[in-house]
A = this chain, B = another copy of it.
Amino acid sequence: MEYTLQQIARVVDGRVTGDSELVITGMGALSTAQPGQISFYGDPRYLKDLTETHASALIVADLTDLFKGPQILVANPQLAFAKVVALFAPSPSGFTGISSQAFIHATARIGANPTVFPWAYIGENARIGNDVVLFPGVFIGDRAQIGDRTVLHPNVVVLHDCLLGNDVCVHGGTVIGSDGFGFTRQGSAHVKIPQVGMVQIDDQVEIGANCTIDRAALGKTWIKRGVKTDNQVHIAHNVVIGENSIIVAQVGISGSVQLGREVVIAGQAGIKDHVAIGDRVIIGSRAGITASVPADQIVSGFPAMPHRLWLKTRGLIERLPDLQARIKMLEKKILDLEQQRLDKE
């Protein structure tokens, strides 16, 4: 694929300075772009890369003297570059239509323009929207519903009665609608509490690879519009995640946790059950949350505390041997002072 700078500028709503008829054949990071390709600069951490790049054109927020080729001026270079990347991305090939080697229950209904690969399975009374892509090994349980333009990557499992909205993307190996972890004791044994709720995933959600999202005990586990999760995230039964929240890899969210909107949870953090996290809260990586957090807080550490306190605290943890030595020294000096006093009296 080839585009002129002018064509690219139109896509990203930008203004060209320099040769607008220059032909661009691809894109790359500053450090890897080749002649003929376009790159972008927006973060001063990459200043050195800027001075050394082989890119033929640049997307920038402010014109820069450090680059001699033509530049496209935009408000947000990273956002603009995302659009350029999409321009050059290879279109997914393979099937269109429904493979004769897929299994479709006679009662299932499938919308217009489907792509159903071999070894996909669609259960009884399932409802599949328009322009849906189901890769090999995808399982859609009975009565599950999948919205328009939703893409389920290889070996994704969506169990019975779950609802996925429009423009949802789920990466390979993720399981949606597995039973919540609910047992009640009878002597030393554990009796299963049937998990008869479901999972609802709203429009424009993206779920990473090998995640698990459990169905509710009753009612629903609910991932709201625009949420994005990384890989290997665990979301327990009856959790609610507010709009446009971001959840990084290997986070675990326990049962009945309520997250507000635009929450950010960094990697490997964990949240105790039945806790409420306010809107726009940011939770640091590896934080362990054991109590509710009000809106707009930043918390880190284990046990979790305000992020600024954690920055001070974590430095002191490794200075504990020093603190202990200073306490010992103080004890010795006090003893000396007390002894001297006694000697005098």
Contacts and interface: CB of A to CB of B under 8 A. Distances in A.
Interface of A: 27-29, 32, 76, 78-79, 81-82, 85-86, 88-90, 92-94, 99, 101, 103, 105, 117-119, 121, 123-124, 135-137, 139, 142, 153-155, 157, 159-161, 171-175, 178-179, 181, 183-186, 188-194, 196, 204, 206, 208-212, 214, 217-219, 226, 228, 230-232, 234, 236, 243-244, 246, 248-250, 252, 254, 261-262, 267-268, 270, 272, 285-286, 288, 301-303, 305, 309-310, 312-321, 323-324, 326-327, 330-331, 333-334, 337-338, 340-341
B327 A318 contact: no
A200 to B, nearest CB: 14
Contacts of A171: 175, 178-179
B28 A193 contact: no
B252 A236 contact: no
A127 to B, nearest CB: 15
A47 to B, nearest CB: 15
Number of copies of this protein chain within its complex: 3
A60 to B, nearest CB: 15
Contacts of A27: 218
Nearest to A121: B136
A208 B196 contact: no
Given A28-B219, A183-B246, 4 more contacts: A117-B121, A121-B154, A157-B172, A181-B231
Contacts of A89: 194, 196
Nearest to A334: B333
Given A171-B179, A210-B212, A218-B28, A302 B321 contact: no
B135 A137 contact: no
Contact of A196 (B85, B244, B268, B301): B85
Contact of A232 (B121, B155, B232): B232
A82 B183 CA distance: 9
The 4 closest A-B pairs by CB, nearest first: A178-B209, A172-B175, A316-B320, A212-B231
Contact of A184 (B76, B119, B124, B338): B76
Contacts of A301: 317-318
B214 A231 contact: yes
Contact of A208 (B159, B178, B192): B178
Contacts of A159: 153-154, 172
B139 A154 contact: yes
Contacts of A331: 326, 330
A320 B327 CA distance: 12
